[in-house]
């Protein structure tokens, strides 16, 4: 161990190991199969990295995510340890180079995706290499009860056996007793040495909020934590992009991440987050596994996760340095119903499994019991919540709910388990206690039991809560072999013989939570009643526009149009980014005219003590950005507008609408190549002179002016685009 500690200091700069790391490393070095259950942030990767460095040969690390591999390989290479990965992102040349280096004994750690491991050519190559041991990271992927089940993981053991007899270390941060059993069985590691660390992350604060006016809640939270790193998890790719855009519109530093982006974009956004170029990453669960960023200060679940394992894994990415970590989940039962719909095409077994996991998620969210106690109980660890009550490290302990005497209710709950012979789940037991007359209850003769109907005066939700709290207090237990089944405990037997006082807590009521998030179509939500603009600020902005126009010898409408001024007088933008997100402005105009408007707004906000923290701009990005890129590229290539409209299946009028939107937001567009084909110079000059001297760029007024001449509405719109591009942008 002296040599190992010396290497620890030399390579990683640490003086000592954490938690179970040292005995785990010794166990692997002794050639023993090792099963490690250790929470996120506790240093799992060190458990296989150190033995790999110290032993002869190459350790193979089977890992499910490309992002995880790249991150760890970069870290190893940065400290002078040769590490590589094999996955689908590599070219044939790169794969051959890595294989050659491995066979020559130059690679200490070789990360392999499970899909790559199953390829015959890779199995043949690994047979020829000097492999020291195999590490199976994220081992919960083996179990269908794990939160990220991967069928390829089921083949790992047979493939390892083909390569050679070697020690195996399996590692996971989330394993319920059932998942733990599945992993050990599948890898034939029943006799492996088990090292299980506590799942308790003392520095994390857990909170569940109603999903009501969620976007305003989100902005308020992020403004309170401005400058701190955080992750926001959404279930769908579409929602990820929408929320990232929404945050940017509101002046927050955010980037999206999901598997649908090009690899280069994913990599850039991930690196920007790691390098603190952006504060917030909005992501699907594809982001974060194995990302070593110790100072993530908050993890927000915009949507309810599919399981408590997933929730624990994702919240575990907060506060890995042991400092502040806020975990906020927005909850609405409509999210649970949506997730159930997603499961409708699965097999019956998969659907039932997913339902059990979602039920656990529902109980966690709605329960008023200590969040930490519930989470740890789920992973088979008991926890005395008096510590959390003292420190207030979850919302339920910080703001305790109403309690009531539960002795008679707990007694009925335990009796329902005992009298039904410990063979049923929570839903059936609730039906028995409430006296349900359904066929299922009758077919087992449970309508004849003493406990049948003894709790008919209380509703279903109440009894579900009682049974959950009876379980948390260990009067009844989960059957590990048969998921969803509840059985008796010795503590429960003792309680039936001698019932004593026990206080239960009333659940949260989420029945009034909106099923919708906020309305989201370019609507500024401001402190002013009815979202009306601030008339005093509007007049000041109008005067400023006139002053700029006079200085530049331009009509005022060229600088900024009235609707943009109204939005500025509603949302009080005080940064260049916020001003650029006002309709009809964009960064082009901000650079050209923005500084004086921003100074005016900042002074007005300060002088009038306006709290812009309450101002939230809710906008949807739609397909505007895609159309914008297409149009700019086509104009740069000097493609005829008729051809451009034809490609998109638009009328010329629709195309001009899109071009105007881009132009009026401050982007310079050069349409001279097209105008030369359709219009003579004299006509063009006349229309340009008109717009220079007109009070407004209104097309109807312009049509009236050119009523007797051969000028079409299309001509006027095209020259207006040229005029605005040349003088305003």
Of 501, 533, 552, the position where a domain reaches its end is 501
CATH number at residue 673: 1.10.10.1390
CATH number at residue 435: 1.10.10.10
Percent of the chain whose pLDDT exceeds 70: 94
**Do 328 and 441 belong to one domain?**
no
How confident is residue 613, by pLDDT bands cut at 50, 70 and 90?
A: low
SS (H, E, C) 47-81: HHHHHHHHCCCEEEEECCCHHHHHHHHHHHHHCCC
SS (H, E, C) 266-283: HHHHHHHHHCCCCCEEEE
Alpha carbons 42 and 37: distance in angstroms, whole number: 10
**Do 325 and 365 belong to one domain?**
yes
Is the model's pLDDT at 61 over the cut of 70? Answer: yes
Strands laid side by side in the 280-283 sheet = 204-210, 325-331, 296-301, 229-233, 280-283, 254-257
Instruction: Quote the pLDDT of residue 530.
Output: 39
Give the distance, in angstroms, between the CA of residue 239 and the centroid of all CA atoms in the same chain: 10
Expressed as residue numbers, the domain containing 709 is: 624-727
- Residue 5: strand, helix, or coil: helix
Alpha carbons 154 and 297: distance in angstroms, whole number: 35
Please name the residues in contact with 248: beta carbons below 8 A apart, sequence gap of 6 or more: 254, 577, 581
Identify the helix (H) or strand (E) that includes residue 429: helix 426-434
Instruction: Quote the pLDDT of residue 296.
Output: 94
Please name the residues in contact with 595: beta carbons below 8 A apart, sequence gap of 6 or more: none
**432-455 average pLDDT score:** 93
* 338 falls within a domain: yes
Name the residue among 307, 468, 262, 300 with its Cα closest to residue 374.
468
**Do 538 and 633 belong to one domain?**
no
**Do 388 and 420 belong to one domain?**
no
Please name the residues in contact with 525: beta carbons below 8 A apart, sequence gap of 6 or more: 216, 518, 531, 615, 616, 617, 618
Name the residue among 469, 463, 474 with its Cα closest to residue 370.
469
Number of domains in the chain: 5
* 517 falls within a domain: no
Specify whether the CB–CB gap between 195 and 23 falls below 8 A. Answer: yes
Is the model's pLDDT at 664 over the cut of 90? Answer: no
**Cα first-last separation, the chain:** 68
**Do 106 and 191 belong to one domain?**
yes
Alpha carbons 43 and 81: distance in angstroms, whole number: 18
Whether the predicted model's global pTM rises above the 0.85 cut: no
For the stretch 305-344, pLDDT in tens is: 999 988 998 998 899 888 999 999 999 988 888 888 888 8
* 559 falls within a domain: yes
Is the model's pLDDT at 17 over the cut of 60? Answer: yes
Instruction: Quote the pLDDT of residue 620.
Output: 47
Of 471, 501, 531, the position where a domain reaches its end is 501
Specify whether the CB–CB gap between 131 and 54 falls below 8 A. Answer: no
For the stretch 126-153, pLDDT in tens is: 999 999 999 999 888 887 776 667 778 8
Of 618, 651, 686, the position where a domain reaches its end is 618
For the stretch 275-294, pLDDT in tens is: 899 999 999 876 655 466 88
Alpha carbons 368 and 402: distance in angstroms, whole number: 9
* 470 falls within a domain: yes
Instruction: Quote the pLDDT of residue 498.
Output: 95
* Placement of tokens 């990232």 in the chain: 244
**Do 486 and 532 belong to one domain?**
no
Tokens linked to 485: 């089944």
* Placement of tokens 């490309």 in the chain: 66
Is the model's pLDDT at 65 over the cut of 50? Answer: yes
CATH number at residue 531: 1.10.150.80
**160-176 average pLDDT score:** 89
How confident is residue 514, by pLDDT bands cut at 50, 70 and 90?
A: low
Is the model's pLDDT at 574 over the cut of 60? Answer: yes
For residues 471, 472, 473 and 474, what is the CA-based torsion angle, rounded to 10 degrees?
50
Identify the helix (H) or strand (E) that includes residue 596: helix 595-607
**Do 120 and 239 belong to one domain?**
no
Alpha carbons 137 and 67: distance in angstroms, whole number: 13
Instruction: Quote the pLDDT of residue 39.
Output: 82
Tokens linked to 354: 């997913």
* 98 falls within a domain: yes
Burial class (CB in 10 A: 0-12, 13-18, 19+), 82: middle
Burial class (CB in 10 A: 0-12, 13-18, 19+), 502: middle
Please name the residues in contact with 444: beta carbons below 8 A apart, sequence gap of 6 or more: 420
**Do 139 and 257 belong to one domain?**
no
How confident is residue 351, by pLDDT bands cut at 50, 70 and 90?
A: confident
Give the distance, in angstroms, between the CA of residue 498 and the centroid of all CA atoms in the same chain: 48
* 482 falls within a domain: yes
**419-439 average pLDDT score:** 93
Is the model's pLDDT at 641 over the cut of 90? Answer: yes
**51-61 average pLDDT score:** 93
**117-124 average pLDDT score:** 88
CATH number at residue 139: 3.40.50.300
Instruction: Quote the pLDDT of residue 286.
Output: 63
Instruction: Quote the pLDDT of residue 525.
Output: 44
Higher local confidence (pLDDT), 623 or 178 = 178
How confident is residue 370, by pLDDT bands cut at 50, 70 and 90?
A: very high
Alpha carbons 83 and 93: distance in angstroms, whole number: 17
**Do 223 and 360 belong to one domain?**
yes
**Do 569 and 710 belong to one domain?**
no
**Do 391 and 411 belong to one domain?**
no
Higher local confidence (pLDDT), 176 or 61 = 61
Is the model's pLDDT at 209 over the cut of 90? Answer: yes
Instruction: Quote the pLDDT of residue 491.
Output: 94
**Do 98 and 28 belong to one domain?**
yes
Alpha carbons 100 and 107: distance in angstroms, whole number: 10
- Residue 390: strand, helix, or coil: helix
Instruction: Quote the pLDDT of residue 489.
Output: 94
* 510 falls within a domain: no
How confident is residue 543, by pLDDT bands cut at 50, 70 and 90?
A: very high
Q: What angle do CA 620, 622, 626 make, to 5 degrees?
A: 135
* 518 falls within a domain: no
Alpha carbons 470 and 367: distance in angstroms, whole number: 13
**675-692 average pLDDT score:** 90
Ranked by mean pLDDT, the top range of 155-159, 345-349, 379-383, 467-471 is 467-471
Burial class (CB in 10 A: 0-12, 13-18, 19+), 280: buried
């Amino acid at each position: 161990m002296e040599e190992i500690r010396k290497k620890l200091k030399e390579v990683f700069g640490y003086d000592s190991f954490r938690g179970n790391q040292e005995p785990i490393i010794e166990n692997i070095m002794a050639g023993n199969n090792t099963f490690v259950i250790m929470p996120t942030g506790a240093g799992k990767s060190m458990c296989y990295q150190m033995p790999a460095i110290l032993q002869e040969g190459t350790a193979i690390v089977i890992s499910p995510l490309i992002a995880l591999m790249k991150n760890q390989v970069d870290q190893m290479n940065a400290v002078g340890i040769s590490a590589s990965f094999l996955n689908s992102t590599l070219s044939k040349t790169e794969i051959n180079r890595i294989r050659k280096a491995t066979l020559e004994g130059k690679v200490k750690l070789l990360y392999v995706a499970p899909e790559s491991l199953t390829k015959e050519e890779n199995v043949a190559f690994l047979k020829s290499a000097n492999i020291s041991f195999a590490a199976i990271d994220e081992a919960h992927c083996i179990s269908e009860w794990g939160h990220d089940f991967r069928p390829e993981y089921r083949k790992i053991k047979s493939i390892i056996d083909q390569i050679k007899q070697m020690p195996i270390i399996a590692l996971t941060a989330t394993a319920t007793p059932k998942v733990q059993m599945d992993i050990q069985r599948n890898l034939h590691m029943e006799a492996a040495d088990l090292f299980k660390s506590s799942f308790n992350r003392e520095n994390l604060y857990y909170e569940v909020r109603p999903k009501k006016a969620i976007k305003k809640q989100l902005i308020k939270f992020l403004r309170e934590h401005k400058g701190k790193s955080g992750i926001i998890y959404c279930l769908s790719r579409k929602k990820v992009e929408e929320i990232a855009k929404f945050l940017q519109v509101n002046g927050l530093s955010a980037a999206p991440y999901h598997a649908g982006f090009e690899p280069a974009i994913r990599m850039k956004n991930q690196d920007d987050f790691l390098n603190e170029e952006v504060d917030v990453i909005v992501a699907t669960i594809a982001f974060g596994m194995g990302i070593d960023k110790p100072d993530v200060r908050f993890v927000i679940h915009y949507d309810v996760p599919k399981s408590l394992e997933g929730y624990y894994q994702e919240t575990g990415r907060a506060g890995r340095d042991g400092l502040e970590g806020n975990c906020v989940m927005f909850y609405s039962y409509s999210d649970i119903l949506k997730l159930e719909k997603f499961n409708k095409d699965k097999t019956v077994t998969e659907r039932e499994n997913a339902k059990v996991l979602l039920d656990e998620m529902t109980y966690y969210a709605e329960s008023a019991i200590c969040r930490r106690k519930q989470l740890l109980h789920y992973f088979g660890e008991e926890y005395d919540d008096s510590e959390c009550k003292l420190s207030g490290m979850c919302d339920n302990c910080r703001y305790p709910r109403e309690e009531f005497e539960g002795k008679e209710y707990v007694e009925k709950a335990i009796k329902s388990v005992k009298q039904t012979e410990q063979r049923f789940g929570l839903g059936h037991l609730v039906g028995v206690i409430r006296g349900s007359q359904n066929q299922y209850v009758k077919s087992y003769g449970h309508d004849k039991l003493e406990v049948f109907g003894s709790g008919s005066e209380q509703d279903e939700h109440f009894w579900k809560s009682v049974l959950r709290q009876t379980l948390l207090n260990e009067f009844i237990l989960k059957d590990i072999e048969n998921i969803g089944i509840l059985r008796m405990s010795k503590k429960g037997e003792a309680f039936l013989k001698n019932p004593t006082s026990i206080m239960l807590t009333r659940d949260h009521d989420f029945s009034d939570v909106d099923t919708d998030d906020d309305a989201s179509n370019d609507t500024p939500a401001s402190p002013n009643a009815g979202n009306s603009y601030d008339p005093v600020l509007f007049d000041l902005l109008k005067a400023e526009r006139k002053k700029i126009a006079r200085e530049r010898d331009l009509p005022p409408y060229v600088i900024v149009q009235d609707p943009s001024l109204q939005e500025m007088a509603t949302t009080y933008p005080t940064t260049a980014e916020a001003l650029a997100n006002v309709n009809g402005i964009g960064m082009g105009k901000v650079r050209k005219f923005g500084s004086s408007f921003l100074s005016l707004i900042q002074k007005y906000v300060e002088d009038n003590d306006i709290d812009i923290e309450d101002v939230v701009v809710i906008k949807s990005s739609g397909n505007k950005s895609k159309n914008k890129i297409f149009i700019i590229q086509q104009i740069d290539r000097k493609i005829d507008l008729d051809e451009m409209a034809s490609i998109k299946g638009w009328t010329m009028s629709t195309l001009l609408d899109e071009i105007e939107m881009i132009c009026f937001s401050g982007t310079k567009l050069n349409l001279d190549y097209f105008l030369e084909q359709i219009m003579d110079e004299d006509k063009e000059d006349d229309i340009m002179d008109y717009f220079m001297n007109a009070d407004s760029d209104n097309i109807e007024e312009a049509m009236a002016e050119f009523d007797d001449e051969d000028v079409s509405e299309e001509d006027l719109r095209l020259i207006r685009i040229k005029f605005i591009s040349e003088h305003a942008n």
